[in-house]
Structure 1
Amino acid sequence: MTNKVVVLGSLNVDTTLHIAQMPKPGETIRAMSKTNSAGGKGANQAVAAARSGAATSFIGQVGKDGNGQFMIDALKRDQINVDHIKVDDQDGTGSAVILLDENGQNSIMVYGGANQAMKPTIVADSEALIESSDILISEFETPQEVTLEAFKLAKKHGVTTILNPAPAAKLIDGLAEVVDLIVPNETESASLTEIEVNDQASMDANAEKFTKMGIKNLIITIGDRGAYYHTPAGSGFVPAFKVHAKDTTAAGDTFIGALSSEINKDFSNIKAALTYAQKASSITVQRLGALPSIPTAKEIANQYK
C-alpha cells in the first residue's frame, strides 16, 4: 500500500557556503565555494516522502518572486501536488544560509518570509486534501497556530499526524492533544521535556514526559548513533548505519519523509519503518545539498540489498 502524505511546511531557497571551519566570533573567513538549491524542512520532507513512493501533497506559502516559482517547480519535478501552495504578495519566499565545514557539520540561519506569514485560515481550503490522506506532517518553520488548525482537521478525519518540533520551541496550548507521533532530535527533545538525552533511562524519561503531555508515540533521532522509539506497545533503539558524512543538511528531514512513506497508521511497523528511514538518511549525509541529496526508494534498495 502506498501512503498518501501531506506536508504542511516551509519552502526555502538554500544558499550553502562551503568553508574549511566554522568562524569564531568577529572572525572573517573565506568561503571556498557557494551553491544554491531548493530546501526548507517542509520541502525536504515532502521530497523524501515522494522519492520513497508516497503520493505526496504540499500545503505552504511562497512569495511573489522568482524564488517562489523556483520552489514550486522543484516540488513538481518530484510529482508533488502543489495546488495548495499560496502566493503571498507581501513577504518574500523563505531562504536559508548554510555554513558547511570540511567535516560535514553545518550551521544554518533561516529567513522565514512567506513561511512565517502563513495564517491558520490557509488550512480551510485544504480540508478535502487532508481528509483524503493517511499522514499529515508538520514542523516549526511555519507558525504553530497553522499546524494546530491542520492537525485538528486531520484528527476530525482519522488522519495520522506527525510533528517534527524543529527548530525547537515550546508547544502551544492544544497542539500536543492532536499529535500522534512526535519526532525530535535529542536537543529538541530535551528542550521540550527539560530532561537531557544521554542514555536509555533518560530516553525512557523523555517518553514518559511526552506521554504526560498527551503524545503517546515518540521517536528521538540521535545523529550518527541511531534512533530511539517508544509506543504503548514497547520501546527500543535502532542503531544508525555507519557512513562517512559529507553534509548533514536534510538528514533529519529525509528520515521523517522516508518514515512517513513506510509507517502504518497505527505505528505497528515502527521498527521496520524506522530502519528504512535510517537507510535513507545515511545516503543523504554522503551527498551535498538538501533536495539533491535525498535518495529514491530504488537507490535505498540498491545500497542496502
Structure 2
Amino acid sequence: MSNKVTVLGSLNVDTTLRVARMPQPGETLSTENKSSAAGGKGANQAVAAARAGAETRFIGKVGNDDAGRFMVESLKDDGIDTSAIITDPTIGTGSAFILLDEAGQNSILVYGGSNQQIKAEEVMAVEDEIAKADFLITQFETPQAATLAAFTVAKKHHVTTILNPAPAAKIDPEILKVTDLVVPNESESAILTGIEVTDEASMDANAAKFRELGVKNLIITIGSKGAYYATADGSGFVPAFKVNAVDTTAAGDTFIGALSSQLKPDLSNIATALVFAQRASSLTVQGLGAMPSIPTLAKIEAASK
C-alpha cells in the first residue's frame, strides 16, 4: 500500500539565471544561461512524493494564465490529483527568480501571486480530500490562515500533519498545536525557537522547545551534514550522502516529499525513512533545475544498492 499524501502549497514558475558569482549591490553582471521550469515549494514537495511512489493530491491556487495552466499540467504529468487546485480570475500565478552561481549556491526572489490568495474556507471545502490522506504537508509560501484551517481539519480526521516552516516567518502559535512533525532547516529552527543550532545538545534543546510549543516531533535538516530527528521514542542524527552538488534548489523539498512517501503515520520508522529521504535529496542536488532533478523511486532504489 502506498502512502496517501496531500500537499497544500505554492505553485511557481521558476526562472533560473546562471551566474559566475552573486552580484554586489549596484553591480550589473551578464548571465550565462536562462531557463524556466515548474516549481514552488509545494509543487516540488508534491512531485517528490509522487515520484517516490506516494498517491499524491494537491491543494493550491493558480492565475488564469499560461503559467497557471503549465503548472497544473506539470503536476498531472507526475500523476498528481489536481482537482483541488483553484484558478484565481484576477491575480497571476506565482513565480520565482533563482540566481545560481558556479559553486551551486542559490539566491531566490519569490512573487507569491495567486499562492497568497488561498482562503481558509476554500481549504475547508476540500475536507473530504484531506480526510483521505495519511499525511498533509504544507509550507509558508501560502497564507498561515489556510494552513491552520487545513491542519485543524486534518487532525479531526487523524491525518498526520507535516509543517515545513520555510521560508522562515513569524508563526501563528495555533498552527504548532496542530502540527505532528515540524521540518525546519537549522536557521529556520533557530528563528522559531530562539536557540542557535550548533551541536547535538542545541538540537535537543530545539526539540524540547518545540514540545513546549505543542509539536512533539522534529526533524532539523542540516544541509550537506545530514538530519537530526527527535520523536517520543528518542532522537538521533542521520548523516547525509557525500555527493558533488551542482544545484541545491529543491533539495529540502525533495527531502520532505520523499520522506512522506515512506514514513509510517505513527513515525515509527523515522530513521529508515530519513535515510531514503537523504538519498533522494542527494540525487536532486546533482542535477540542474528544481523539478527536473527530483528523482523517481527507481532512481532512488538504484542509488541505494
Please give the TM-score of this superposition, normalised by the length of structure 2: 0.99
Query: Deviation of residue 304 (structure 1)?
Result: 1.7
Question: 1:184-195, aligned counterparts within 5 Å?
Answer: 184-195=184-195
> What one-letter code is carried by the residue in structure 1 that aligns with 2:139?
E
- Structure 1: gaps (5+ residues): none
The residue type paired with residue 285 of structure 1 is V
The residue number in structure 2 matching 1:299 is 299
* Residue of structure 1 in register with 2:202 after alignment: 202
Task: Tell me what 1:243 maps to.
Answer: 243
> What SS does the aligned partner of 1:85 have?
strand
DSSP-derived class of the 2:174 partner: coil
Which structure 1 residue ranges, 4+ long, deviate > 2 Å from structure 2? none
Post-superposition CA distance 1:124-162 (Å, at most 9, x none): 221000111100000000001100000000000000000
Distance 2:286 2:239 in 1: 17
Residue in structure 1 matched with residue 145 of structure 2 by the alignment: 145
Match of 1:174 in 2: 174
How far residue 198 of structure 1 moved from its aligned partner, in angstroms, is 0.9
Three-state SS of the structure 1 residue aligned to 2:265 is coil
Rounded Cα–Cα distance in structure 1 between residues aligned with 2:173 and 2:279: 35
Give the AA of the match of 1:243: V
Counterpart amino acid of 2:214? G
* Distance in 2 separating the partners of 1:123 and 1:200: 38
The 5-angstrom pairing of residues 90-109 of structure 1 reads 90-109=90-109
Instruction: Name 1:131's counterpart in structure 2.
Output: 131
Aligned position for 2:156? 156
| Cα distance in 1, alignment partners of residues 295 and 242 from structure 2 | 17
- State the SS of the aligned residue for 1:174: helix
Report the Cα distance in structure 1 between the residues aligned to 2:125 and 2:26, rounded to whole angstroms: 47
Partner SS, residue 278 of structure 1? helix
Which secondary structure does the structure 2 equivalent of 1:195 belong to?
Answer: coil
AA in 1 matched with 2:217: N
2:225 counterpart of 1:225: yes
> Which amino acid letter does the alignment assign opposite residue 244 of structure 2?
H
- Deviation of the 1:107 alpha carbon: 0.3
Aligned residue in 2 for 1:50: 50
Aligned to 1:85: 85
User: What's the TM-score once normalised by structure 1's chain length?
Assistant: 0.99
Work out the CA distance in 2 between the residues paired with 1:171 and 1:195. Answer: 16
CA distance in 2, matches of 1:173, 1:288: 37
Q: What letter corresponds to residue 196 of structure 1 in structure 2? A: E
Deviation at 1:173, TM superposition (A): 3.3
CA distance in 1, matches of 2:227, 2:24: 31
How many residue pairs get aligned? The number is 305
Question: What per-residue deviation string (whole Å, max 9, x for no partner) do you get for residues 164-223 of structure 1?
Answer: 000001221311110000000001000001111110111011001000001010000000
